[in-house]
Amino acid sequence: MVGGTRSIIALLAYHDPAAMHDFLVDAFQLGAGTVDRDGEGRAVHAEVHASDGSVLYLHRHAPEAGLVSPREAAASTGGVMVLVDDIDAHHRHAQQRGVRIEYPPTDQDYGFREYGARDPEGGRWYFAKPI
């Protein structure tokens, strides 16, 4: 691999990165990271992570930089897939937190048991476990 790629950090845009941080930690059980604020106290960046060290950056909604919340998009170009140890328990936890579930845990032909969900701003999330 040219350049020695080591890891990927995804960046997602939201109107309220701090609220999204708290939602992802509570509902989807991601690890809490930092929440950075500007001089007026507005959250401009937050981070959540998985137990393997993977990180998601949550950036403020910034149309001037071409970064918009899923709430503004008429369609989705993708989503985030997170591998979990117990897909059914994870799904139950998300349901108990009132998460909008798109489809329940389902065995897929491509070798994963997964479910789909939406975050409060409409972002697509997929949680999966290899079969």
Residue 1 maps to a domain:
no
Give the integer Cα–Cα distance in Å for 15 and 100. Answer: 19
> Is 5 inside a domain boundary?
no
* Contact between 125 and 116 (Cβ < 8 Å): yes
Token pair belonging to 106: 């389902």
**Residue 3 is assigned to a structural domain of this protein:** no
Q: Give the mean pLDDT of the chain.
A: 92
- Residue 15, pLDDT > 90, answer yes
Q: Structural domain of residue 92, as residue ranges?
A: 10-71+79-130
Helix, coil or strand: residue 87: helix
**Residue 1 pLDDT exceeds 60:** no
In a domain, 2, yes or no: no
Q: Are 56 and 69 in contact (CB under 8 A)?
A: no
Does position 53 have pLDDT exceeding 80, yes or no? yes
For 77-110, write each residue's pLDDT tens digit.
789 999 999 999 999 999 999 999 999 999 999 9
Indicate whether 87 belongs to any domain: yes
CATH code (residue 33): 3.10.180.10
Token pair listed for 102: 């798109």
Judge contact between 37 and 45, C-beta under 8 A. Answer: no
Is residue 35 in some structural domain?
A: yes
Indicate the number of domains in the chain.
Answer: 1
- Does position 4 have pLDDT exceeding 90, yes or no? no
Q: Is 43 inside a domain boundary?
A: yes
